């Protein structure tokens, strides 16, 4: 199990950030470079049916070692890291036997203080991997990649552990909502799967947000400010007005659990033109629909105020709550719970305040709940992952693989 740490430390040094503005698939060539290295590693371990396709998906098989007829289970993780923060030149460091003190990550000046991140106190006495504060760590989701490959190697080296056919896949572009765009469910050939893309140890998730992406373009009118009265229309002020009309209480920083939100991703502009990018999220389908409708109404109100269509809204759904697709196969949740209990991990069934490839895959015909990978504070320099959490994730994968043989 110690090899999961060695793998992870190597993986996070590979720059694999995805690019939301790219028109290629995958969005960055660096993801392909990393995928090619994973292919070579899988060959060395001894997996079968190893393939890197033209879209950047790595797939492989751990052959069955039992005569029992049982379902084919899959394990999935994504190779890209979030473009929300620098992912290049990651410099991971291990804090041995964390004492509960403030973690000074180095010359960057970044500190992980339990007053701001109280969950870190759950890992007193454990080894913790952090960044040096200049980049994100990449536990989302290279911890998942390392855990799946380590579990695969363990199963191959321990043929006494019975398991059926197991499929694994590493996907690109999950962080920009495209990870399942070109996933071939039929070719993958699993009856159900799990993404290793969750947070703290014990997380087991089969509910996620309904999600939409909104892009708002504002056309202003630039006039010399000395002669602007009744002539100038400042696109940035129009954008400010629009944003201010969204409910302040429905922002990510003011919501939790099943509360949805509007998340302002970016606001760029001049007097002449401005662009707003926004995420709309809610677990409840009716509330999700209402949030989108409110945004449309606000755009209409602003246009009515100015007497012309200054503001144009483009809004597209990204993914939906997987609960609808998991409920009919709820036994795969019980399977994961049992696998955790055998590993000495308390299952924490909760809703994802986000999304995973599994959400879209579930709607594509592959039921795919999400299991913890162990990390915390994703998408920024405060990210950390306890070593023991990664090791336990490996155990859970192995346990699921074994328990599937009892489903035949």
Q: Report the distance separating Cα 259 and Cα 319, nearest Å.
A: 17
**Strand pairing of 166-171 and 73-78?**
parallel
Residue 262 class from Cβ within 10 Å (0-12 exposed, 13-18 middle, 19+ buried)? buried
The answer to whether the CB of 188 falls within 8 A of the CB of 167 is yes
**Mean pLDDT of all residues in 53-81:** 97
Structure-token pair, residue 34: 């990393």
How distant, in Å, are the alpha carbons of 12, 116, 400 from that of 138? 6, 21, 25
Q: Report the distance separating Cα 103 and Cα 85, nearest Å.
A: 20
Is the peptide bond preceding residue 9 cis, with omega within 30 degrees of 0? no
CA dihedral 188, 193, 198, 202 (to 10 degrees): -150
Q: Report the distance separating Cα 109 and Cα 105, nearest Å.
A: 7
- Domain architecture of the chain: domains with CATH: 3-208+321-407 (3.40.630.10), 210-319 (3.30.70.360)
379-393: per-residue pLDDT in tens?
A: 999 999 999 999 999
Q: What is the pLDDT of residue 2?
A: 84
How distant, in Å, are the alpha carbons of 101, 125, 264, 393 from that of 98? 7, 5, 35, 20
Q: Report the distance separating Cα 321 and Cα 335, nearest Å.
A: 21
Report which of residues 357 and 31 the model is more confident about. 31
Q: Report the distance separating Cα 109 and Cα 133, nearest Å.
A: 7
Q: Is the pLDDT of residue 408 over 70?
A: no
CB atoms within 10 A of CB 2: 10
- How confident is residue 354, by pLDDT bands cut at 50, 70 and 90? confident
Share of the chain above pLDDT 70, in %: 100
CB atoms within 10 A of CB 118: 9
Q: Report the distance separating Cα 205 and Cα 253, nearest Å.
A: 22
Active-site positions?
80, 174
User: Cβ contacts of residue 250 below 8 Å, gap of 6+?
Assistant: 259, 260, 261, 262, 291
Q: Is the pLDDT of residue 1 over 90?
A: no
- How confident is residue 213, by pLDDT bands cut at 50, 70 and 90? very high
Q: Report the distance separating Cα 87 and Cα 81, nearest Å.
A: 7
233-261: per-residue pLDDT in tens?
A: 999 999 999 999 999 999 999 999 999 99
Give CA 354 to chain center in angstroms: 7
**Strand pairing of 203-207 and 93-95?**
unpaired
Q: Report the distance separating Cα 220 and Cα 97, nearest Å.
A: 57
The answer to whether the CB of 221 falls within 8 A of the CB of 231 is yes
Rg (CA), the chain: 23
291-345: per-residue pLDDT in tens?
A: 999 999 999 999 999 999 999 999 999 889 999 999 999 999 999 999 999 999 9
Q: Is the pLDDT of residue 125 over 90?
A: yes
Strands (E), 192-247: 192-198, 203-207, 210-219
Give CA 212 to chain center in angstroms: 16
pTM of this structure:
0.87
CB atoms within 10 A of CB 296: 12
CA dihedral 364, 366, 367, 368 (to 10 degrees): -100
């Amino acid at each position: 199990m110690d090899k999961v740490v060695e793998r992870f430390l190597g993986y996070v040094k590979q720059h694999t950030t995805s690019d939301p503005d790219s028109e290629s698939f995958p969005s960055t060539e660096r993801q392909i470079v990393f995928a090619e290295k994973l292919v070579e590693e899988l060959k060395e371990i001894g997996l079968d049916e190893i393939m890197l396709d033209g879209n950047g998906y790595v797939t492989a098989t751990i052959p069955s070692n039992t005569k029992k007829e049982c379902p084919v289970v899959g394990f999935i993780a994504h190779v890209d890291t979030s473009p929300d923060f620098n992912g290049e030149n990651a410099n991971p460091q291990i804090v041995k036997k964390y004492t509960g003190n403030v973690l000074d990550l180095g010359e960057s000046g970044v500190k992980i203080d339990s007053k701001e991140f109280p969950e870190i106190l759950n890992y007193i006495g454990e080894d913790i991997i952090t960044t040096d504060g200049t980049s994100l760590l990449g536990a989302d989701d290279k911890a998942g990649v390392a855990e799946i490959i380590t579990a695969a190697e363990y199963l191959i080296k321990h043929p006494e552990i019975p398991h059926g056919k197991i499929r694994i896949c590493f996907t690109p572009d999950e962080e920009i909502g495209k990870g399942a765009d070109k996933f071939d469910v039929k070719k993958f050939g699993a009856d159900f799967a799990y993404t290793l893309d969750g947070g703290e140890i014990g997380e087991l998730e089969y509910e996620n947000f309904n999600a939409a992406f909104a892009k708002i373009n504002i056309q202003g009118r630039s006039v010399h400010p000395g002669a602007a009265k009744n002539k100038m229309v400042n696109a940035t002020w129009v954008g400010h007005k629009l944003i201010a009309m969204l409910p302040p209480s429905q922002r990510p920083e003011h919501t939790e659990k099943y509360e949805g939100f509007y998340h302002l991703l970016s606001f760029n502009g001049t007097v002449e033109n401005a662009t707003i990018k926004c995420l709309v999220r809610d677990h409840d389908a009716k509330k999700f629909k209402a949030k989108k409708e409110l945004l449309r109404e606000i755009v209409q109100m602003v246009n009515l105020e100015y007497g012309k269509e200054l503001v144009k809204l483009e809004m597209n759904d990204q993914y939906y709550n997987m609960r609808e697709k998991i409920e009919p196969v709820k036994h795969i949740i019980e399977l994961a719970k049992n696998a955790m209990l055998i590993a000495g991990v308390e299952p924490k069934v909760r809703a994802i305040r986000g999304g995973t490839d599994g959400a879209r895959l579930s709607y594509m015909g592959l039921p795919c709940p999400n299991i913890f990978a162990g990390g915390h504070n994703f998408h920024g320099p405060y990210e950390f992952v306890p070593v023991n959490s990664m090791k336990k994730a490996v155990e859970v994968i192995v346990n699921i693989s074994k328990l599937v043989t009892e489903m035949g």
